[in-house]
């Protein structure tokens, strides 16, 4: 058998996430966020019922969100990490209950593209979802956060022009996020969407680049996807029929 065939045999034996009940729970759609729908109706307390791990943002687009071990954190443009109060809401988030189906030690990785190629080798199929958690030491981390917005909300591509970029060197911490199949286009972020938080919870954000010294990478195969759409007027009235792949590339990279 080829390596891919062995991987897939492993997934089939383990029940591909679909049978082991792993669900990626997502609030709203990425295209709604791109269009400036920055207020959702799912509270962080509700989000916590659907996962202890994940990424997203907070209402009014108030920074980058990362959830680890049931704790929800928000990284604002001041670069600081804040716990997210349970009553706050999210306009876009993806969470799951994380349990690695496989782990691998990785080291001496020179950049985000190299990391993505290494991770590619750990994903047995490009047709299911994966939660990814990388704990370790990083020679370099580059993240960004976005500034809290006031109504009327501008589109995300305009907000990202005002993003704040952070660079960290010699930092311990965790990269967390998801890999989604190409067919989620419009709903979620195809391929990798990763956030970072420092082990001492002093810094973090949406991951733009990194160099890995040594780390353990866990992959959670996820065969179910649940989407909770906002019942807000903003969401219901926004025209989401267009094609936004180009805009998405600009905001995520």
Which residues lie near Zn ion (CB under 5 A)? 206
In this chain, which residue has its C-beta nearest to Zn ion?
206
User: Which are the contacts of 152, defined by CB distance < 8 A and separation ≥ 6?
Assistant: none
Beta carbon of residue 148, minimum distance to Zn ion (angstroms, whole number): 15
Which CB sits closer to Zn ion, 75 or 109?
A: 75
Beta carbon of residue 93, minimum distance to Zn ion (angstroms, whole number): 10
Which CB sits closer to Zn ion, 142 or 206?
A: 206
Beta carbon of residue 55, minimum distance to Zn ion (angstroms, whole number): 6
Which CB sits closer to Zn ion, 206 or 244?
A: 206
Beta carbon of residue 193, minimum distance to Zn ion (angstroms, whole number): 6
Beta carbon of residue 251, minimum distance to Zn ion (angstroms, whole number): 9
Give a three-class secondary structure readout of the chain: CCHHHHHHHHHHHHCCCCCCCCEEEEECCHHHHHCCCCCCCEEHHHHHHHCCEEEEECHHHCCEEEEECCEEEEECCCCCEEECCCCCEECCEEEECCCCCEEEEEEEECCHHHHHHHHHCCCCCCCCEEEEEEEEEEEEEEEEECCCCCCCCCCHHHHHCCCEEEEEEEEEEEEEEEEECHHHECCECCEEEEEEEECCCCCEEEEEEEEEEEEEEEEEEECEEEEECCCCHHHHHCCCCCCCHHHHHHHHC
Which CB sits closer to Zn ion, 11 or 65?
A: 65
Which CB sits closer to Zn ion, 101 or 252?
A: 252
Beta carbon of residue 194, minimum distance to Zn ion (angstroms, whole number): 8
Is the alpha carbon torsion for 173, 177, 179, 182 positive or negative? negative
Which CB sits closer to Zn ion, 91 or 223?
A: 91
């Amino acid at each position: 058998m080829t390596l891919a065939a062995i991987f897939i045999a492993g997934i089939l034996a383990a029940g591909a996430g679909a049978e082991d009940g792993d669900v990626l729970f997502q609030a709203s759609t990425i295209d709604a966020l791109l269009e400036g729908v920055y207020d959702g109706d799912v509270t962080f307390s509700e989000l916590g019922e659907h996962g202890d791990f994940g990424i997203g943002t907070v209402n009014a687009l108030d920074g980058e969100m990362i959830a680890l071990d049931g704790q929800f954190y928000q990284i604002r443009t001041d670069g600081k990490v804040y716990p997210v109060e349970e009553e706050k809401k999210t306009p876009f988030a993806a969470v799951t209950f994380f349990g690695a189906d496989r782990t691998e030690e990785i080291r001496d990785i020179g950049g985000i593209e190299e990391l993505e190629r290494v991770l590619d080798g750990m994903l047995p199929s490009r047709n299911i979802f994966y939660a990814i958690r990388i704990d370790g030491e990083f020679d370099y981390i580059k993240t960004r956060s976005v500034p809290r917005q006031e109504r009327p909300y501008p589109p995300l591509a305009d907000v990202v022009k005002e993003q704040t970029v952070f660079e960290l060197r010699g930092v311990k911490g965790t990269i967390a996020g998801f890999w989604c199949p190409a067919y989620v286009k419009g709903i979620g972020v195809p391929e990798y969407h990763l956030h970072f938080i420092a082990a001492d919870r002093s810094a973090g954000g949406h991951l733009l680049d990194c160099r890995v010294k040594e780390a353990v990478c866990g992959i959670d195969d996820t065969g179910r996807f649940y989407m909770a759409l906002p019942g807000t007027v903003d969401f219901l009235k926004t025209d989401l029929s267009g094609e936004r792949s180009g805009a998405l590339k600009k905001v995520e990279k």
